[in-house]
Every structure is written in C-alpha cells, then in structure tokens.
C-alpha cells in the first residue's frame, strides 16, 4: 500500500474549508493524513476543529521570533519533522515565506474566492473580493484553487468553478454562495495531488481532477 500523503493545513480564522476537507476525509473521498494544523492566530476556530478530530496543532506567528529567518526556520523544522508532502492553505492570512515556497515548490495549495487572475493580489481577501466583483459589474464569479508561488494569487491554476452574480447580490450573499462552491470543490484539488493525477508544466496544471 502506498504511503498516504502527509498534509499540513495553515489557517488563521474559522477554518470552514478545513472542516470541509476533514468531512471529505471522513467520508472516504479524500486520502490524506492531516499531520498538523498550523495557525498564526491563537483564537482561530480552526484550532478547535483540529482538536475535535485529534489533529495536532501548532501556534506559530512571526511575532514569536526575533526575525523573519528564525520564524521561517521554525516553520520548516516543524514541517520537515512531520515529513510533510503537501501544504494546504485554508484561510491563512500571512504571506508564506519565500524559503518555504521554494522548498515546497508546487506543493502548496491555496483557494481564492474569485476567478483568478481577476480580483486577486495583495489585500484581496474575504468580502473585499466579493465587493470588488460587484463594484466592477462582473456577471460571473467563482473560485480558483492554485499552487502558491512568490506572488499573491499568481501560481498555476489547478481548478476553477463558477458562480453567477445576481443583480441583487451583496458582498455577503455572494460570499455565502461562493463559500459553498469552495467547500464542494477544494478537496478535489487536494485529492488530485494526493493521487498524483496532476502535474505542472510551466503555468499549466495538466491531468485529471
């Protein structure tokens, strides 16, 4: 039997996408081992979700360390000690250190609540994204799951799913509808990585999801 993919989840808040991944694993549809949850916010509900499922947790924040190098070394040390194959970002609000991106090249996955490359980049998160979609007058929004590189929201796209933007939408109603699509689809990209059915060629992700 092949070794199950060891995944580390990074979260800063409620962790609803993390919960959706846990649920898919419990259903037998997602074949990864959640080796650790790492968060920068000690009050994040994601920690509670992890404890409820006996998933180890670590609170690691830049403010705990003298400098960026020490912080990065701590993260890398913890990931290496757990033989992490994949890093899954689930509402993580800190920039991933460059050294970590390089070491885990095309092994860090993120989900964004819009159709990249539109409505992404620095400062585009949460309801800001949905308000920007509405302000622009876009007729379609959705989700993008992508690999993480050195620029915000610019890594190779793994999958996208669309959501209609309704005439009477608010940022809140659009966010709610998009979140359901996130929960229904994020696990598919994680499972594709775990099963080895996708590969990256330049900016393109090739294979079956």
Domains in the chain: how many in total? 2
What is the span of the domain harbouring residue 134?
111-209
CB 140 within 8 A of CB 106: no
User: How many CB atoms lie under 10 A from the CB of residue 117?
Assistant: 13
Q: Which residue among 59, 64, 112, 130 is the active-site one?
A: 112
Are 90 and 184 in contact by the 8 Å Cβ rule? The answer is no
For position 113, what pLDDT does the model report? 98
Overall average pLDDT of the 81-110 stretch: 96
* Cα dihedral value 143, 145, 149, 151, nearest 10: 0
Omega into 117 within 30° of 0, i.e. cis? yes
pLDDT > 90 fraction of the chain, expressed in percent and rounded = 97
Same domain, 55 and 151: no
In terms of domains, do 99 and 130 share one? no
CA distance 114 to 111: 9
pLDDT tens sequence across 9-57: 999 999 999 999 999 999 999 999 999 999 999 999 999 999 999 999 9
Instruction: Look at residues 69, 89, 104 and tell me which one is the last residue of a structural domain.
Output: 104
3-state SS, one letter per residue, for 24-88: HHHCCCCCEEEEEEEECCCCCHHHHHHHHCCCCEEECCHHHCCCHHHHHHHHHHHHHHCCCCEEE
Check pLDDT > 80 for residue 6: yes
Residue at which a domain ends, from 51, 70, 104:
104
Partners of residue 83 on adjacent β-strands: none
> Do 122 and 208 reside in the same domain of the chain?
yes
Which tokens is 95 given?
A: 């920039």
Q: How far apart are CA 161 and CA 146, in angstroms?
A: 12
Q: Using the 8-state DSSP alphabet, how is residue 179 labeled?
A: H
Confidence at residue 1, expressed as pLDDT on a 0 to 100 scale: 42
User: Same domain, yes or no, for 30 and 115?
Assistant: no
Judge whether 112 counts as a catalytic residue: yes
* Phi, psi (deg, nearest 5) at residue 33: -105, 115
Give the model's pLDDT for residue 2: 61
Which one of 86, 104, 122 terminates a domain? Answer: 104
pLDDT at 119 over 80: yes
């Amino acid at each position: 039997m092949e070794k199950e993919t060891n995944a580390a989840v990074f979260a800063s808040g409620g962790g609803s996408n993390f919960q959706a991944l846990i649920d898919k694993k419990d259903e037998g549809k997602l074949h990864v081992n959640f080796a650790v949850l790492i968060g920068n916010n000690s009050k994040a509900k994601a920690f509670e979700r992890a404890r409820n499922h006996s998933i180890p947790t670590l609170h690691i924040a830049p403010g705990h360390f003298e400098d960026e190098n020490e912080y990065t070394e701590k993260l890398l040390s913890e990931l290496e000690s757990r033989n992490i194959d994949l890093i899954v970002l689930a509402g993580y609000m800190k920039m991933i250190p460059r050294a970590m991106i390089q070491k885990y090249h095309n092994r860090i996955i993120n989900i964004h609540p819009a159709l990249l490359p539109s409505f992404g980049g620095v400062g585009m998160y949460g309801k800001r994204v949905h308000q920007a979609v509405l302000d622009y007058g876009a007729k379609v929004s959705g989700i993008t799951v992508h690999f993480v590189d050195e620029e915000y929201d610019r890594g190779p796209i793994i999958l996208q799913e669309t959501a209609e933007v309704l005439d009477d939408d608010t940022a809140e109603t659009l966010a709610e509808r998009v979140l359901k699509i996130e929960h229904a689809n994020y696990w598919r990209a994680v499972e594709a990585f775990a099963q080895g059915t996708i590969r990256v060629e330049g900016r393109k992700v090739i294979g079956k999801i």
